[in-house]
Amino acid sequence: MEAPSATTWRPRARRAAPWLVGAAVLAVSVGPGTRSLPTMVTLGDAAPTTTDQPTSTTTRTTVPSTTSSTRPANTTPSTDPISTVPPETTVPVTAPSTPPADVTRGIPSAAPASPPPAAPAPPWAWSITTTAAGYTSTNVGCATGTGAAALDAFFAVRVGPLIGSDYQHVVALGGGRYAWFFQDAFIDPTGVAARLDQSHFVHNLLLIQDGACFTMLHRGIATRPLSFEPGNGENPTSKWFWPMGAETSGGKLRMFWVEMVRDPYDPGPGDGLGWHPVRTWLGTYDPNTLKRLSFAPAPNSGAVPIYGYAVASDASYTYLFGNTFEQNLVREGGFFGGQHSGTAMYLARVPLGRLDLAPEYRTDVGWSLNPADSRPFLRRYWAENPMQPRYIDGRWIAATKVDGYWGEQLQIDVANNPWGPWTATEFRGIAPRGGDPKMNTYHAHLLPWRASNGSAIVTISQNARQMVRDAFPHPWRYRISAFTTGWVAPPPDPVPTTTTTSTTSTTSTSTTSTSTTSTTVPDTTSSTSSTTTSSSTTSSTADSTTSTTTSTSSPGP
């Protein structure tokens, strides 16, 4: 049976944030040559080349958390004593002088407010089944490949009954399969809904990728879909669960989920969204069937920060990156009350794949089992630092949408270790698909494989700033996008010091490569997206770019 394409079914920017101008000037003012502000680039276009990086200083802050379980005796943490280390890397930021553009979301009803007209069975109806694990499964189609251009085209349009979604989290399942977890999603079983509010709303959803084809899984039935993960009980308008970081290891998929609650008020203009996280949970699943094996409070079930906000592993440890994910700024004194808690990134670790164990936490001098000893390894921006690190082909790389909903820039960083120092290889403006002025972008997330030309692949969420007014009648505004960024080696780490900063000149070289690891999906199309980074290359010849970087040392391993 012929596989469906991304567009045909067959069977089988907000204005630039003024408070980031200082950071933007800083990012282009520490190296030699001509200085200029970052260019705003529409998704799908090539990005400008930049070579200068922001300067780092040091400060210190503490965000308490709680741990609810203990580590077995055979996994005693290390102390790694180090005599002289900076407590934190902080990128200076200028306080904003004007309010940001307003962003509103709202929570729609689970059932359609205005159902679409009756229609014949949709083209995917033949594929709807109930799996052995009890999920409703629907074949939603195939992209033309697994590169950025093919995925961008696939997600730019209706994906079977899925007409809009955001906050993608992608984790390798093994055997060339990947799980795409989404936060809020709109599902149209009829195939004829023209608006988001003519469809069913769920707070989380799963797509399984096998090669370039995707299958949708959710609870409920096809005509009345429910969230993939209801947690310990979901109320769509007051309590729900959103996916965070995940890892597949030892024949199990473990994912952190954050329990969200709605606040009894809607924040005013510029102050964010009316809900916040209250608890972190750990779900365990069979990676073949996605059957839920357990769902319980995470070993550290606190939410200040959420350890497991992002998850990545090297050969020895699985690292839990921590962030408060606080987007209701009223709870922190309003937008002008920053820097906000979400600008700080924390780090914990467990033995490889053992997300079920109590972690040890990164401190000023090594690692500790006491979460109160933890210190941020990086603080930057004003409202939010939604950093999403990956360990791909032996290299640490992270994508960050600067200030999330409130920002207009994208930053790509690389490092030799998950605690840094992180060095920016790309800092530029980023606009939504088509440059639509009514839309914004957020949640930049790297895929766990590279493009056929060696570039990293970045996905990013998009929505209308005024979702009900501008995205409900135009679902295409609420769909993710994908593009590439260059593959740049991090510079050598500086010698540990207690001074604030050190500056090192390095040469970063980007090379094309088709070598893969066990988590690499081969690109099935010859077309590739243009690489958009300071030292990128899209030809078979490696180019090199000399860049000046500024970094601050962090505690060693």
Spell out where 314-387 has E strands: 317-323, 344-351, 360-362, 367-368, 378-379
The model's pLDDT over 537-557, given as tens digits with 9 standing for 90+, comes to: 333 323 333 333 333 334 445
Measured distance CA(310)–CA(321) in Å, rounded: 5
The mean pLDDT value for 337-351 works out to: 97
Question: What is the per-residue pLDDT for 43?
Answer: 52
Amino acid identity for residue 80 in this structure: D
Spell out where 183-305 has E strands: 185-187, 200-202, 205-210, 213-221, 224-226, 239-249, 252-262, 275-285, 292-297
* Opening angle at CA 137, ends 133 and 140, nearest 5: 150
* Nearby residues of 394 by Cβ (< 8 Å), 6 or more positions away: none
- Which residue ranges make up each domain of the chain? 1-36+58-474+486-557
Measured distance CA(386)–CA(444) in Å, rounded: 8
Residue 292, strand partner residues: 285
Q: How is residue 322 written in tokens?
A: 């921590």
pLDDT score of 7 more than 50: no
Question: What is the per-residue pLDDT for 87?
Answer: 52
From the list 45, 53, 86, the residue with the least C-alpha distance to 363 is 86
In terms of C-beta density within 10 A (0-12 exposed, 13-18 middle, 19 or more buried), how is residue 294 classed?
exposed
From the list 191, 167, 149, the residue with the least C-alpha distance to 433 is 149
User: Which strands form 456-464's sheet, in the order they lie side by side?
Assistant: 439-450, 456-464, 481-485
Confidence of residue 81 (pLDDT cuts 50, 70, 90): very low
From the list 283, 4, 85, 299, the residue with the least C-alpha distance to 171 is 283
Q: Are residues 525 and 112 in contact, defined by beta-carbon separation less than 8 angstroms?
A: no
pLDDT score of 60 more than 60: no
Question: What is the per-residue pLDDT for 550?
Answer: 35
Considering the entire predicted model, what is its pTM?
0.79
Mean pLDDT estimate for the chain:
81
pLDDT score of 271 more than 60: yes
Confidence of residue 499 (pLDDT cuts 50, 70, 90): very low
pLDDT score of 406 more than 90: yes
Question: What is the per-residue pLDDT for 57?
Answer: 33
Question: What is the per-residue pLDDT for 497?
Answer: 61
Strands 292-297 and 306-313: unpaired
pLDDT score of 325 more than 90: yes
The model's pLDDT over 432-475, given as tens digits with 9 standing for 90+, comes to: 999 999 999 999 999 999 999 999 999 999 999 999 999 999 99
Measured distance CA(527)–CA(530) in Å, rounded: 10
Confidence of residue 88 (pLDDT cuts 50, 70, 90): low
Least confident of 70-79, 130-139, 210-219: 70-79
Question: What is the per-residue pLDDT for 274?
Answer: 97
Share of the chain above pLDDT 70, in %: 73
> Residues in the chain, how many?
557
pLDDT score of 514 more than 60: no
Question: What is the per-residue pLDDT for 115?
Answer: 85
- For CA atoms 168, 172, 173, 177, the dihedral sign is positive
